[in-house]
Amino acid sequence: MATHLAGTHRMLADWRARARTTGRWRDDEAKLGALLLGPAVVYIVALVGFPFLLGVFYSFSDASVGSTSLHFMGLQNYAAIMEDPTFWRSLRNAVVFALVSQILVVVLGKILAMALYREFRGRWLIRLLILLPWVAPISLGAIGWLWIFDPIYSIITWTLHALHLIAPTDTPVWLGQPGLAMLSVITVDVWRLLPLATVIILAGLTAIPPDVLDAAQVDGAGFLRRLFLVQLPLVMPVMLVALLFGIVFTFTDMIVIYVLTRGGPYDATQVLASYAYFTGVEGGDLATGAAISLFLFPVLAAIAVFFLTMARRAEVV
Amino acid sequence: MATVETRRITKRFDGHAAVAGIDLAVREGEFLVLVGPSGCGKTTLLRMLAGLETPTSGDVLIDGRIVTHVPPRARDIAMVFQTYALYPHLSVLKNIAFPLRAMGMPTKEVESRVQRAATMFGIENLLKRKPRQLSGGERQRVALARAVVREPVAFLLDEPLSNLDAKLRTSARDELQQFQRRLATTTIYVTHDQVEAMGLGDRIAVLNGGRVHQLGTPAEVYGDPEDTFVATFIGSPPMNLISTPTAYVGIRPEHLLPMQAFSSSEQVLPYPLVSQRVENLGADRLVYGTLAPPHPTIKVISRLPSMLGVEVRLGERQEFAVRPRDVKRFALDSGRKLDPASA
């Protein structure tokens, strides 16, 4: 017993001595903070900051894939794209694509989130299934959609025929007709971004104290009044963040369009991101490509500032 | 104003009965307190009255009309939640106006009613603020104003004072009772705090395990408990229970006094005591001790008013006694009150 106690005492003394000497740098929040932030800073500088500055530099030059020479061109590239009708078309398409798909995503996401919010048997399974499009690789999902939109074997066309919604002789070319092509890429974008929005909004709904919704019921509010006067205002900050994510994703991403239509037919689904890629990388004109993609930067920055301010203003708790 | 009634009402959650067949009749304008330990089913019962839970079986009646399947918004009742459940995104004004707007009341009328309710609770100067800018006591007033503004037929209050500090709670209790008396609206109040229950209720329903153990005035529940649960739950410190071969003998701490406290002509039952510890509470002293033979050696508590200048000697046997009429007896098996005659 006595030896055991002595052992314990020694252990404690050792521990105290060690705590006094080694605890220093771990307790220094400034140093520890810098150390922990380090990897993230390196990552952002190397993979976001440097390419961004390189892009800015290229956009003022005549850089191209095939040449090692580089000259400062001032605003010439920007002036050139202003003259380019395809650029304006891509900009308009990008806005339509992002706005229509994101409005659909937010509305459908809210409805889905409300359905999933309720307790029911097998809810976890449904939640899992809804998340699947988000975890599937985008390009693989898009290739799947390529088959769904196939002009001959399309399951959509088959279903419409089977339900006698269109004439048997009528075979829409989903990705080949301008209006239908935009509709198709929007559909796929909604399919892809809906899970994320649903999960974000669901988190927002779950954060509303149940007592508040109960109080609204007792206070005489029916479903619509509860939805528009209590639930929606309370999830608004979260919904704005979901919307911001969606808009930025949709504006900057081109995988869906690259896989499904490559911007066609006749640039009907060409957006700025895809146009920049085709011009700069596939076309080899790095300078113009950089100018096209940079055009979006101030627009997206303004959108982000706007939404974050709105979200903060709508925040209540 | 209305009567509120439940008939054989039960609520089962996953096979467990939270409320097990309660018959309750609240009179018009009455202040009824549902009191019991946590998990006794009191909140579930209140939520069934509000319509926020559907009973597994049985009925809820408001003013004699069965409303079991009527949604909460059509029951014309108001509820104050433990968390107050104010709408965090709305100003105090809009919070109070919410039930009126839901009724579709014209704006002019809404304004004057909100003003009246705000004046009643002394919160006219807070109308523009958001709930997060209010203190606990102010939030509680806003919640009460939101409840009274509509002049509902009944108020349901779920532990509305439990988030206030002790001092504020006492004054809020007093105000609450005055408002209730003034409005004379049927009120059902849930609490786990027996002091609150005794102080507020016209009648108290003591709940445990989903059943009502006793329904009566505070004096009845305290002075004549139906069973050992009520005897030990109501009163602080609780009633001393001494098991004898024939029954449980119940003695309130304030009735177990030193022999000197009684006049010599009075006939009393001796309960000698060995004191272990004395707690001085200011107005009272609590004496913790063990009964001495011939009684079983059981720990008991005696509450002596400070005016009673009897010296308590720790560790020594001292003569304590009880008036025969202050001795309650309960059955050993069921714990139910035994008739004084059968004792």
Q: Indicate whether this complex's ipTM tops 0.95.
A: no
Question: Percent of chain A, pLDDT > 90?
Answer: 9
Nearest to A317 among B52, B88, B156 (CB): B88
CATH number for the domain formed by residue range(s) B4-228: 3.40.50.300
A216 and B98 within 8 Å at the Cβ level: the answer is: yes
Chain A partners within 8 Å of B50 (Cβ): 214, 218
Cβ–Cβ below 8 Å for A220 and B73: yes
Separation in Å, CA of A114 to nearest CA in chain B: 18
Model confidence pLDDT, tens digit, residues A265-282: 888 888 888 888 888 888
Same domain, A153 and A50: no
What is the per-residue pLDDT for B313? 85
Q: How far is CA A86 from CA A62, A99, A157, A241, in A?
A: 20, 20, 31, 31
pLDDT > 90? residue A57: no
B-interface mutation test, from A219, A223, A224, A317, most B Cβ less than 10 A away: A219
DSSP state of A226: I
Cβ of B77 and A218 within 8 Å?
A: yes
A94 and A39 co-located in one domain: no
In whole numbers, what is the pLDDT of chain B averaged over residues?
Answer: 89
CB of B51 within 8 Å of a chain A CB? The answer is: yes
Predicted confidence (pLDDT) per residue in A225-250, tens digit = 988 999 889 988 888 888 888 888 88
pLDDT of A169 reads 79
Q: Which of B73, B83, B132 sits opposite A217 (nearest CB)?
A: B73
pLDDT value, residue A22 = 61
Instruction: Give the residue on A whose Cα is nearest the Cα of B72.
Output: A218
Check whether residue A209 and residue A106 sit in a common domain. yes
Q: How many CB pairs under 8 A join A and B?
A: 69
Q: Which of A209, A220, A233 sits opposite B85 (nearest CB)?
A: A209
- Is a pLDDT exceeding 90 seen at residue A317? no
Is position A24 within any domain?
Answer: yes
User: For residue B173, is pLDDT > 80?
Assistant: yes
- Residue B255 backbone class (left: φ over 0; alpha: ψ -120 to 50; beta: rest): alpha
pLDDT digits (tens, 9 = 90+) for B290-322: 998 888 888 999 999 988 878 888 888 988 999
Quick one: A185 and A238 in the same domain? yes
Same domain, A163 and A230: yes
Question: Does one domain contain both A99 and A190?
Answer: yes
Rg from Cα positions in chain A: 27
The answer to whether B94 contacts chain A (CB < 8 Å) is no
Residue A171 confidence (pLDDT) above 80: no
Task: Check whether residue A208 and residue A283 sit in a common domain.
Answer: yes
Question: Which of B50, B85, B103 comes nearest A212 by C-beta?
Answer: B85
Residue from A218, A227, A232, A235 whose CB has the most chain B CBs within 10 Å, to mutate: A218
What pLDDT was estimated at residue B343?
A: 45
Contact B85 A214 (CB under 8 A): yes
Residue-wise DSSP of A82-97: HH-HHHHHHHHHHHHH
Task: Tell me if B73 and A218 make a contact (CB, 8 A cut-off).
Answer: yes
Q: Could you tell me if A103 and A27 lie in one domain? A: no
Chain A neighbors of B87, CB-CB under 8 A: 212, 215-216, 230
Beta carbons of A221 and B102 less than 8 Å apart: yes
Q: Where are the domains of chain B?
A: 4-228, 239-342
- B220 vs A29, more confident: B220
CATH code for position A123? 1.10.3720.10
SS3 B329: strand
Q: Which residues of A touch B98 (CB under 8 A)?
A: 216, 219, 221, 229
Query: What H or E segment, with its residue span, contains residue A81?
Result: helix A76-83
Give the gap in angstroms from C-alpha A316 to the nearest C-alpha of chain B.
Answer: 5
| Homologous superfamily in CATH for domain B239-342 | Nucleic acid-binding proteins (2.40.50.140)
Chain A residues with beta carbon closer than 8 angstroms to that of B103:
220
A73 falls within a domain: no
Q: What range defines the domain where residue A5 resides?
A: 1-59
> Number of structural domains, chain A?
2
Q: Are residues A90 and A224 in the same domain?
A: yes
At CA A123, angle to CA A122 and CA A127, rounded to 5? 125
Whether A131 is in a domain gets the answer: yes
For the stretch A46-55, pLDDT in tens is 998 998 898 8
How far is residue B147's CA from residue B117's CA, in Å, rounded to a whole number?
9
Q: Are residues A194 and A278 in the same domain?
A: yes
Check CB contact of B179 with chain A, cutoff 8 Å. Answer: no
What is the arrangement of strands in the sheet containing B299-305, beginning at the earlier edge strand? B299-305, B284-291, B273-280, B317-318
Task: Report the DSSP beta bridge partners of residue B62.
Answer: B4, B65
Distance CA A207, CA A205 (A): 5
**Please, which contacts does B212-221 make with residues 24 or more away whose CB atoms are closer than 8 Å?**
B212/B22, B212/B23, B212/B24, B215/B24
For residue A32, pLDDT beyond 80: yes
| Same-domain pairing of A3 and A102 | no
Residues making up chain B, counted from first to last = 343
- Assess B77–A contact: CB distance below 8 Å, yes or no: yes
Q: Determine what percent of chain B is predicted with pLDDT higher than 70.
A: 99
Between the two ends of chain A, the Cα-to-Cα distance in Å is: 57
Mean pLDDT calculated for residue range A201-208: 89
Q: Which among B81, B82, B102 has CB closest to A220?
A: B102
Q: Distances in Å between the alpha carbon of B128 and those of B109, B125, B155? A: 18, 8, 26
Q: Do B102 and A219 touch (CB under 8 A)?
A: yes
Query: Which of B78, B79, B87 has the CB atom closest to A212's CB atom?
Result: B87
Contact B117/A at CB under 8 A: no
The share of chain A scoring above pLDDT 70, in percent, equals 96
Q: Which residues of B touch A225 (CB under 8 A)?
A: 102
A217 touches chain B (CB under 8 A): yes
Is the CB of residue B152 less than 8 Å away from at least one CB of chain A? no
Residue B342 has pLDDT above 70, yes or no: no
- Domain shared by A89 and A28, yes or no: no
Interface test with A, best of B67, B94, B98, B140 (most A CBs within 10 A): B98
> What DSSP string describes B175-230?
HHHHHHHHHT-EEEEEES-HHHHHHH-SEEEEEETTEEEEEE-HHHHHHS-SBHHH
Tokens matching residue B10: 């039960």
